[in-house]
Amino acid sequence: MSSQIQSIETLLVDLPTIRPHKLSMATMATQTMVIVRLHCSDGIEGLGEATTIGGLSYGPESPESMKVNIDTWLGPVLLGEDAANINALMAKLSKVAQGNAIAKSALETALLDAQGKRLGVSVATLLGGAQHTHLPVLWTLASGDTERDIEEAQRLVDERRHRDFKLKIGLRSVDQDVRHVAAIKAALGDNVSVRVDVNQAWDENTAVRAISALQEAGVELIEQPIPAREHAGMARLSRRFEVAMLADEGVQDSTDGLTLISQGFSGAFALKIAKSGGPRGALRLAQMAQTAGIGLYGGTMLEGTIGSVAALHAWATLPAMAWGTEMFGPLLLTDDIVARPLKFAEFGVELPTGPGLGVEIDEDRLKEFAR
């Protein structure tokens, strides 16, 4: 017997961060999530999350616009439809609205969660089966203070929580950024991996000068140093340096992936379910990357637990990722809205068990933080 979608509820949830999180385009002190609750005629509820970084300073979707677009455009076309036919439903959303990848990702996640609960299997099982139950997780050092970042990283290594670190740079001058990164790498030593994320802050000439110095300092990965649409420039940088380039904002989905590969890009792709319109779109990009010999990295939009778990179920179906994952979003928040938080230990995170996402809402916490 089929189950119809009866209603779709969206809630804006504001959770403070444990510290200011400095990016090249914004400084975050609060993360806003759009929580989706999809209710079906068989009594099953599917959960999803739409989250972005820094609002419209980062990209074309903001939490407020995602809520409005789900409530007004995307959600209504799903009402009364068969909740189990995810292919047909996502195709329908593509016809109704262009773009809106993060909002669509939240809806696809909710559909997968509901179907997993319906069948009594995990989302990873729906996506082909988990190859891993424990995934490595790095931590982003983004206070902007060199000594504070060193102290924070050393403490996390000692606690066996993280041993790979990413630094957010691009807001200050190149010389300041290079000194900051080099000092942290020197203090942490060769047993710790240090990467940088520039968030598109440089032009290509600046990138050449900066990457040369960062490579000399021992940095292992350079994430999106130049604007997203400069695919040819990313390809040139990947060929010019030994240090690997990581495409993030420049590779939204498999179409961008094909463009970069055809232009000779080598290095790695940052997978994000949000920018690919859902877990299945991110896996399509991953399959293309693997075929072309491109490394994989499990990226985050600093989602809370629901969005992070959705990504983890997708990453768990892949072979071991060359560059690990950054699914630390819940750790950056002072509180949570789920009954059982994720378990971070031994430099990684455990994949939740149970049907669907394996996540349950804490109704009291949700009520406290919902806008």
326 is catalytic: yes
Q: Which residues of 85-119 are buried (b: 16+ CB within 10 A; e: fewer)?
A: ebeebbeebeeeeeebbbbbbbbbbbbbbbbbbbe
What stretches of the chain show up as alpha helix (H) in DSSP? 63-69, 86-96, 101-119, 123-126, 146-158, 174-188, 204-217, 231-240, 254-262, 279-292, 305-316, 363-369
What backbone torsions phi and psi does residue 79 show, to the nearest 5 degrees?
-65, 135
| Strand ordering across the sheet containing 348-350 | 134-136, 348-350, 344-345
For residue 119, how far is the Cα from the chain centroid?
27
Q: How far apart are CA 68 and CA 37, in angstroms?
A: 15
Catalytic one of 22, 67, 117, 168: 168
343 is catalytic: no
Give the residue carrying structure tokens 């792709």.
269
Q: How far apart are CA 67 and CA 370, in angstroms?
A: 13
Percent of the chain that is helix, strand, coil (3-state, to 5): 40, 25, 35
| Strand ordering across the sheet containing 45-51 | 5-22, 27-40, 45-51
Question: Are residues 44 and 5 in contact, defined by beta-carbon separation less than 8 angstroms?
Answer: no
How many helices (H) does the chain have, and how many strands (E)? 12, 13
Give just the sign of the alpha carbon dihedral 262, 311, 171, 174. negative
8-state DSSP, 351: P
Q: Using CA atoms in the order 242, 243, 247, 248, what is the torsion angle rounded to 10 degrees?
A: 180
What amino acid positions are annotated as catalytic residues? 168, 326
